[in-house]
């Protein structure tokens, strides 16, 4: 890697493996994150997302491979690396018996930030928590707790922040507010590395790595990943949906995915292949209410790649 390219990178992972005894949590993952980028690590529970983030924060040591943050070796220069990072964990880990103000003050002291008052005021405005600053953390809503945790993460002005599933369990309005805050952080030049099980959130990232069973199965921009699936997606609304899903899978070779009250079927040619699907459904006594061709989603591609890997 050239020095010029290295200077453009916030993170560079090469063949990282992590074992817990006989369990291989990460099986040789490699990817990079550019400075000022919003990067998404996407995958289901147990894929290795939290292990990856904890490793990048210096909380775990890789079994094999190399990792650099801003050109610094994550193992050899851990203390120096940790001065430049912020970490928002999956679980709310602040002090419930302290107020918003007191929690931020506590984290400022941990990071050696002495004149933190102005920075705290800016962060409270940023997160719209100013009017609640005297409220105990235990008495905050889930969304407000996450915004407080983010404010504490940012008090020492890190160059990169790691967010481990930050919007899981947060209501839709707070989730939207949280994303507005993240967008503003990107404008300020902070690099954001976040894990999420939500593929609609991953669409907002500059680039994503799809992680499954400790392996990176795709790494590119959301647009490139979606374009990699050379199929048309037919969305079908019908009843009963479970029967429809079952008969399409059993009586055709089409890849079939169920999303709530709708079925997605990946086909090569809509006009030709829908005729086959319609015939299968009619013969099974399924009532077809509506159907249409829809844009390919990251979820379509992710499920496709997982099914391919199982074969």
**Fold that domain 3-222 belongs to in CATH:** Rossmann fold (3.40.50)
Look at residue 5 and tell me whether its pLDDT is greater than 50. Answer: no
Residue 119: phi and psi, rounded to 5, are -60, -40
Query: Residue 254's pLDDT band (boundaries 50, 70, 90)?
Result: very high
Question: pLDDT grade, residue 213 (50/70/90)?
Answer: very high
Which run of H or of E encompasses 146? Answer: helix 142-154
Residue 2: pLDDT above 80?
A: no
Higher pLDDT, 307 or 293: 293
pLDDT on residue 181:
83
- Residues 26-42 have a mean pLDDT of 96
Residue 201 pLDDT: 85
Mean pLDDT of 301-307: 88
pLDDT of 22 strictly over 80: yes
Q: What is the mean pLDDT of the chain?
A: 90
Q: Is the pLDDT of residue 280 over 60?
A: yes
The stretch 258-278 carries a mean pLDDT of 95
Q: Where are the domains of the chain?
A: 3-222, 230-295
Q: What is the average per-residue pLDDT within 280-288? A: 96
Position 311 scores a pLDDT of 54
Long-range own/partner contacts, residues 101-110 (CB < 8 A, 24 or more apart): 101/133, 101/134, 103/137, 103/148, 103/152, 104/148, 104/151, 104/152, 104/155, 106/152, 107/152, 107/153, 107/155, 107/156, 108/155, 108/156
Q: pLDDT-based confidence at 92, cuts 50/70/90?
A: low
Local structure of 207: helix, strand or coil = strand
pLDDT at 89: 82
In degrees, rounded to 5, the angle at the alpha carbon of residue 277 between the alpha carbons of residues 275 and 279 is 70
Task: Report residue 241's pLDDT band, with 50, 70 and 90 as the boundaries.
Answer: very high
Q: Would you say 47 and 200 are in contact if contact means Cβ atoms under 8 Å apart?
A: no
For the entire predicted model, the pTM comes to: 0.85
Segment 180-196, tens digit of pLDDT: 888 888 888 899 999 98
Tokens of 280: 């299968």
Q: Per-residue pLDDT averaged across 273-294, rounded?
A: 96
Peptide bond into 240 cis (omega under 30): yes
Helix and strand totals (H; E) in the chain: 12, 14
User: Would you say domain 230-295 falls under CATH 3.30.70.100?
Assistant: yes
Query: What was the pLDDT predicted at 310?
Result: 64
- Work out the end-to-end distance of the chain between its first and last CA atoms, rounded to an integer number of angstroms: 35
pLDDT tens column, 140-177: 988 888 889 888 888 888 999 999 888 877 778 878 88
- Which of these ranges, 1-15, 43-57, 249-263, has the smallest mean pLDDT? 1-15
Report the range of poorest mean pLDDT among 69-73, 155-159, 233-237: 155-159
pLDDT above 80 for 48: yes
pLDDT at 31 over 90: yes
Residue 6 confidence (pLDDT): 53
Give the pLDDT confidence of 115-130 residue by residue, as tens digits. 889 889 988 988 889 9
Give one DSSP letter per residue of 162-187, joined into a string: EEESTTTT--HHHHHHHHHHHHHHHH
Size of the chain, expressed as the number of residues it contains = 311
């Amino acid at each position: 890697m050239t020095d010029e390219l290295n200077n453009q990178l916030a993170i560079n992972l090469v063949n990282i493996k992590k074992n817990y005894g006989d369990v291989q949590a990460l099986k040789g993952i490699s990817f990079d994150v550019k400075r000022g980028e919003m990067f998404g690590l996407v995958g289901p529970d147990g894929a290795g997302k939290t292990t990856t983030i904890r490793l990048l924060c210096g909380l775990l040591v890789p079994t094999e491979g190399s990792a650099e943050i801003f050109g610094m070796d994550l193992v050899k220069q851990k203390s120096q690396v940790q001065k430049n990072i912020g970490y928002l964990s999956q679980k709310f880990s602040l002090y419930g018996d302290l107020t918003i103000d007191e929690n931020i003050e506590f984290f400022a002291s941990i990071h050696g930030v002495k004149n933190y008052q102005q920075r705290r005021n800016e962060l409270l405005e940023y997160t719209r928590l100013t009017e609640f600053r005297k409220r105990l953390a235990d008495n905050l809503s889930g969304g407000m707790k996450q915004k407080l945790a983010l404010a504490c993460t940012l008090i020492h002005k890190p160059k990169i922040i790691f967010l481990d599933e930050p919007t899981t369990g947060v209501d839709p309005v707070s989730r939207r507010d949280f994303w507005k805050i993240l967008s503003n952080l990107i404008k300020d030049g902070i690099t954001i590395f976040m894990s999420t099980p939500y593929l609609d959130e991953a669409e907002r990232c500059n680039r994503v790595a799809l992680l499954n069973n400790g392996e990176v199965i795709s790494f590119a921009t959301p647009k490139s990943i979606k374009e990699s699936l050379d199929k048309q997606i037919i969305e079908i609304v019908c009843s009963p949906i479970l029967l429809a899903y079952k008969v399409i899978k059993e009586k055709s070779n089409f890849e079939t995915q169920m999303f709530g009250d709708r079925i997605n079927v990946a086909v090569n040619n809509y006009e030709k292949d829908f005729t086959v699907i319609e015939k299968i459904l009619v013969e099974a006594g399924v009532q077809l209410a509506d159907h249409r061709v829809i844009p390919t989603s990251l979820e379509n591609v992710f499920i496709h790649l997982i099914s391919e890997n199982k074969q």
